[in-house]
A and B are shown apart, each in its own frame.
Chain A
Amino acid sequence: MTTITTQFRLAPDDTAQQIAESLGRVGEVVCKPAERQQSVYYDTFDWRLYACGKYIVVRPGPLGSEVHFCDARDRNAITITPGDLPTGFAEDFPPGLIRDLVREIIDVRRLLPCLTVTSDHTPITIRNREAKTVLRLAVDDMQARQPDGGEPVDLGRYLAMTPVRGYRKAESRARKILGDHFTAHRTDAPIHIAGLVAVGTIPGNYTSKLKLKLDPRMSAGDAVRHIHLALLDTMERNEAGTAENIDPEFLHDFRVAIRRTRSALAQIDRDVLPPAIIAKAQKDFRWIGQQTNTMRDLDVYLIDFPGLQAALPEAYRAHLQPFQEYLCNESRAETKKVAAMVRGKRYRGIRDRWRALLDEGFDALAPEKHTETGVKALADARIWKFYRRVIRESSAIDDSSPAEALHDLRITCKKLRYLLEFFQSLYPQDDIKKLIKSLRNFQNVLGTFQDTEIQSLAILRFGREMTAARAAPVETQMAMGMVAESILLRQGVARQAFQEQFEKFSRPDVRALFAELFKNRG
């Protein structure tokens, strides 16, 4: 189905009429009158399509609206689906290869409009003697604007040429004529990238990953302020999406920013901030985190739901429907609470005070501490301390250890991970990536263990609440019991994998690298 469109930038005085007239030697030319078209480009909030060289655009087609899923390198439409994007989730695409492909990229994120391009579109068709279309061209005068309105920005005049499969001759003849007669310049950059830049949107301007660039000569105080500002930015950027529950990743990123902030307060701020400030901020951010716990637990269940359902025998799957409805209802109610919190006085007060402190008041707090310690010394000391703690706690765990021991270890691993991420720019990239990767694999086992622990307790609570509300028939209760069993099975597998992953994490080469990078040799 491959049809690669070639795009040319035209001079302002090159018209569709002139182009149509010049192509008479290629075949019968049909040039329809120009019509106004609107194309809306989509990506996820964190630019997942852009990051992997794809884009999705909804534009008019011959039979109505079409969704084009395209490769940005050659603008080849991987697939064209009728309709639009009613939800923005991968389920909008027909089941099969394409939905799988889209889901692999966007996962649970929602596609959001990121650009609107309006064009005066003049289609030109070249036909052969059988009146069969052998080449499609279009001249477009394009304007870009933000999806929610704003002033349109002129992008210029473009010619797009799309060959029809099996009719290459027509394309090469047309290309030669156009080259001889017009000042057409081939442009390989997708038009929407130019459009995004023109309206002031920088594609890829948000990522949930911490990409701080710290200077090793920075003081600890400057570095800490820099880290907190980045985390506060992330928190603020995810506020609206969390309140509207656009997709579960907004809340996830919002919570991660809060957890990282709390971790930074506990692990690195004590060298640069007065204890009273730290204690107050810790209390505030803990409160924000707590307000979102239930919503996240419900999200995790809803995200996992298709997998949980698929794990049951087919005869029981339909009986989980009331459970899914219950989760959705609870999620809606919880979203309202979280939205009220985010828009509420207490949250805004915490956020604004914290912003003011980081922006203006930071240097006035314990200024002598800010310059005493260099960031590198702080990073070395904290990471080395937490690495040793992880090894110590892990070594103490055996088959008889209680679940709390694994939970505590998970928290310690998270603290180490955050420290590595805060300070990664101070160390050789390949080395730090290797350490983060080995820690991540270890964390995954601990994460699965803890998540299944929470899920297995939560399903009991859900079951009780549903029974009290008379929302769980016997069949549903039985199906939920099976879900609980499958969760506990997963937990058992994670527990068994613990030792293997710990052995990998504590390999001599990983230990040596931790010591080489962080152990204070002075």
Chain B
Amino acid sequence: MRVLSIYNMKGGVGKTATAVNLSYLAAAAGHRTLIWDLDPQGASSFYFRVKPKVKGGSKKIVRGKSDLDDLIKGTDFTNLDILPADFSYRELDLQFADSKQSRMKKLIAPLRKEYDLIVFDCPPSISELSQQIFRASDLLLVPLLPTTLSIRTLEQIQDFLKKERVTKLELRTFFSMVDRRKKMHREFVEDFAANSADHLTACIPYSSAVEKMGLERRPVVDFAPRSAPAAAYRDLWTQVSYELW
């Protein structure tokens, strides 16, 4: 089983859209996939039409008193299940604070036989929960906007990983919400790609098709498979799956 985390401490960079579409593509490729919607806002759960609620809340999960198996819901897609969000996840930082740093890794260990891939849709923060996620993951996928501020947050993440001595985690970046009509975006993407070894070349365009996911409540790769963002997500999945296996 491999664990992929879609993470950025900054909000609004396309984390959930990425998590939802990559999970769908992984499942469609035959990998038994679980997406865990860790964001209390519950956007992934919403996209899959699943109520953002788990019995017993996050407290019971962290303490190991809830069996994750009982909280998982099937999505409408083959090979794809979801562990929904819950409003109590906003307290996950506090709940993990008293645990060992490998607590999250231990929590998901029993799912090893059932799934080939777990995708964490992470909330935008840098906190105790983030540390738990970093130590449970094999690959940290960071969506970036083609802006200076976004690159600055990447540096902060890299510094944090160094400071916390998270060494067994691979980090990869890619650009999201790229507007090819903007010269600055185009130049930024090209310059960054040329100078970063950990950067994936797949580039998700800014598109109203992605925004329509809220109306359709399905991944864009499902309802608009021929759209530009769907093609870009497929491209991204090809590169990510190469990194994972």
Residues on the B chain within 8 Å of A482, using CB: none
Contact with A along B27-38 (1 / 0, CB 8 A): 011111000000
A165 proximal to B (CB < 8 A): yes
Q: Are the CB atoms of B115 and A1 closer together than 8 Å?
A: yes
- List B residues 2-29 near A (Cβ within 8 Å): 28-29
Q: Are the CB atoms of B49 and A131 closer together than 8 Å?
A: yes
A contact set with B: CB distance below 8 Å: 1-3, 61-63, 66, 79-83, 93-98, 130-133, 164-167
Question: A26 to nearest B CB, angstroms?
Answer: 16
Q: Are the CB atoms of B73 and A166 closer together than 8 Å?
A: yes
B74 proximal to A (CB < 8 A): yes
Q: Please, which residue of chain A has its CB at the minimum distance from the CB of B31?
A: A94
Question: A69 to nearest B CB, angstroms?
Answer: 10
- Also in contact, A94 and B30, with CB within 8 A (given A80-B78, A165-B74): yes
Q: Are the CB atoms of A66 and B72 closer together than 8 Å?
A: no
Question: A93 to nearest B CB, angstroms?
Answer: 8
Pairs A–B under 8 Å by Cβ, sample size 5: A1-B79, A62-B78, A79-B30, A98-B30, A132-B76
B51 proximal to A (CB < 8 A): yes
Residues on the A chain within 8 Å of B73, using CB: 164-167
Question: A110 to nearest B CB, angstroms?
Answer: 20
Contact with A along B50-64 (1 / 0, CB 8 A): 110000000000000
Q: Are the CB atoms of A166 and B49 closer together than 8 Å?
A: no
Other than the given A63-B28, A80-B78, 16 more pairs (CB < 8 A) read A1-B79, A1-B81, A1-B114, A62-B78, A82-B29, A83-B30, A93-B30, A94-B30, A97-B113, A98-B116, A130-B51, A131-B217, A132-B49, A132-B50, A132-B76, A165-B81
Question: A71 to nearest B CB, angstroms?
Answer: 14
Taken together as a complex, chains A and B put the C-alpha atoms of A97 and B74 apart, in Å, by 21
B245 proximal to A (CB < 8 A): yes
Taken together as a complex, chains A and B put the C-alpha atoms of A202 and B121 apart, in Å, by 50
**Most B-side CB within 10 Å, residue of A1, A94, A95, A132:** A1
- Also in contact, A79 and B32, with CB within 8 A (given A1-B81, A1-B114, A132-B49): yes
Secondary structure dominating the interface of B: loop
Taken together as a complex, chains A and B put the C-alpha atoms of A165 and B75 apart, in Å, by 8
Q: Are the CB atoms of A167 and B29 closer together than 8 Å?
A: no
Identify A80's interface contact among B30, B48, B72, CB under 8 A: B30
Q: Are the CB atoms of B115 and A133 closer together than 8 Å?
A: no
Q: Are the CB atoms of B49 and A97 closer together than 8 Å?
A: no
Taken together as a complex, chains A and B put the C-alpha atoms of A130 and B71 apart, in Å, by 18
Residues on the A chain within 8 Å of B78, using CB: 61-62, 66, 80
- For the complex of A and B, list the 8 residue pairs with the smallest distance between their C-beta atoms, beginning with the closest: A166-B73, A165-B74, A132-B49, A81-B30, A164-B74, A130-B49, A133-B76, A1-B32
- List B residues 163-194 near A (Cβ within 8 Å): none
Residues on the B chain within 8 Å of A82, using CB: 28-30
Q: Please, which residue of chain A has its CB at the minimum distance from the CB of B33?
A: A1
Residues on the B chain within 8 Å of A80, using CB: 30, 78-79
Q: Are the CB atoms of A94 and B74 closer together than 8 Å?
A: no
Question: B128 to nearest A CB, angstroms?
Answer: 28
Q: Please, which residue of chain B has its CB at the minimum distance from the CB of A125?
A: B76
Residues on the B chain within 8 Å of A98, using CB: 30, 116
Question: B231 to nearest A CB, angstroms?
Answer: 16
Q: Are the CB atoms of B49 and A96 closer together than 8 Å?
A: no
Residues on the A chain within 8 Å of B115, using CB: 1
Q: Please, which residue of chain A has its CB at the minimum distance from the CB of B32?
A: A1
**Most A-side CB within 10 Å, residue of B32, B74, B116:** B74
Q: Are the CB atoms of B217 and A97 closer together than 8 Å?
A: no
Residues on the B chain within 8 Å of A133, using CB: 76
Q: Are the CB atoms of B245 and A96 closer together than 8 Å?
A: yes
Residues on the B chain within 8 Å of A63, using CB: 28
Question: A398 to nearest B CB, angstroms?
Answer: 49
Taken together as a complex, chains A and B put the C-alpha atoms of A167 and B31 apart, in Å, by 22
Taken together as a complex, chains A and B put the C-alpha atoms of A279 and B115 apart, in Å, by 61
Q: Are the CB atoms of A97 and B116 closer together than 8 Å?
A: yes
Q: Are the CB atoms of B79 and A3 closer together than 8 Å?
A: no
Residues on the A chain within 8 Å of B48, using CB: 132
Residues on the B chain within 8 Å of A79, using CB: 30, 32, 79
Taken together as a complex, chains A and B put the C-alpha atoms of A242 and B31 apart, in Å, by 35
Residues on the B chain within 8 Å of A81, using CB: 30
Taken together as a complex, chains A and B put the C-alpha atoms of A166 and B51 apart, in Å, by 11
Question: B113 to nearest A CB, angstroms?
Answer: 8
**Most B-side CB within 10 Å, residue of A61, A63, A165:** A165
Residues on the A chain within 8 Å of B79, using CB: 1, 79-80
Q: Are the CB atoms of A166 and B74 closer together than 8 Å?
A: yes
Taken together as a complex, chains A and B put the C-alpha atoms of A98 and B29 apart, in Å, by 13
Taken together as a complex, chains A and B put the C-alpha atoms of A96 and B30 apart, in Å, by 11
Residues on the B chain within 8 Å of A96, using CB: 116, 245
Q: Are the CB atoms of A165 and B31 closer together than 8 Å?
A: no
Q: Please, which residue of chain A has its CB at the minimum distance from the CB of B73?
A: A166
Contact with A along B70-114 (1 / 0, CB 8 A): 011110111101000000000000000000000000000000011
- Also in contact, A94 and B29, with CB within 8 A (given A1-B115, A165-B81): yes
Residues on the B chain within 8 Å of A61, using CB: 78
Taken together as a complex, chains A and B put the C-alpha atoms of A199 and B123 apart, in Å, by 57
**Most A-side CB within 10 Å, residue of B31, B48, B49, B50:** B49
Question: B115 to nearest A CB, angstroms?
Answer: 7
Residues on the A chain within 8 Å of B81, using CB: 1, 165
Residues on the A chain within 8 Å of B114, using CB: 1-2
Identify A166's interface contact among B28, B72, B116, CB under 8 A: B72
Contact with A along B202-236 (1 / 0, CB 8 A): 00000000000000010000000000000000000
Taken together as a complex, chains A and B put the C-alpha atoms of A61 and B30 apart, in Å, by 12
Q: Please, which residue of chain A has its CB at the minimum distance from the CB of B114?
A: A1
Residues on the B chain within 8 Å of A166, using CB: 71-74
Question: B240 to nearest A CB, angstroms?
Answer: 15
Residues on the B chain within 8 Å of A83, using CB: 30
